[in-house]
Amino acid sequence: MSRLLIIGPPGAGKGTQAIKISERLEIVAISTGDIFRANVKGGTPLGIEAKKYIDNGDFVPDSVTNNMVEDRLNQDDVANGFLLDGYPRTSAQVDALDAMLAAKGIALDAVLQLTADDDELVARLLKRAEIEGRADDTEDVIRHRLSLYHAETRIVVDRYEERGIVRKVDGIGAIDEVTDRVLAALNVNA
């Protein structure tokens, strides 16, 4: 498995697991959140536009996100595979990703869905905000992001479930335990 997507609510551990999985499978982890934060910090035009949405806990518009992801998937280091984290989040983004991959003659191998309880996620994200000083992680913003996830992103999982490529993994527990569950779901020896 070399072309993967990891999906789940904010705070479910997608970023942490993406790094672990990409190292284990020797593929590139591509996090739209990291790219957005780097652009915000750098004050780029994309960062300035993205910051308006991120600060309110909203998703960055599809047009901006799709162009950024397509550019990233055209870089040489993804030739052996990739793990997308944070994209696609909407049905329209699924269509855009399908078109990007079809143009290359490839498709996703699997979608990893990390699951977790909302109250657990709020507690995790508030703790992370305190440790990392992340202004975008207030309780109101976190609950808004979770609400958006449940309302808008669920269709993404549904569309991939129709294809039979979703692997659900419990995201609660020690990092290595969750990684072992993910690798088992992918039928990869730990």
Using pLDDT thresholds of 50, 70 and 90, give the confidence band for residue 32. confident
List, for residues 57-79, the tens digit of each pLDDT value: 787 788 878 887 888 888 899 99
Average pLDDT, the chain: 89
Q: Is 163 a known active-site residue?
A: no
Give the chain's radius of gyration (CA, Å).
16
Cis peptide upstream of residue 61 (ω within 30 degrees of 0): no
Is there a binding annotation on residue 81?
no
Say what the pLDDT of residue 61 is. 85
From 20, 51, 89, 181, active-site residue:
89
- Say whether 134 is catalytic: yes
- What pTM was estimated for this model as a whole? 0.82
Q: Are 78 and 28 in contact (CB under 8 A)?
A: yes
**Is the confidence at residue 1, as pLDDT, over 70?**
no
Length of the chain: 190
CATH number of the domain at 3-185, please? 3.40.50.300
pLDDT (mean) for 15-43: 87
Q: Is the pLDDT of residue 20 over 70?
A: yes
pLDDT for res 126: 92
- The verdict on whether residue 119 carries a ligand-binding annotation is no
93 is in an annotated binding site: yes
Cβ–Cβ contacts within 10 Å for residue 129, how many? 17
Residue 103 binned pLDDT confidence (cut-offs 50, 70, 90): very high
154 is catalytic: no
Any known ligand binding at 168? Answer: no
For the chain, the structural domain boundaries read: 3-185
Q: What is the pLDDT of residues 130-182, one digit of tens each?
A: 888 877 778 999 999 899 888 877 899 999 999 999 999 999 889 999 999 99
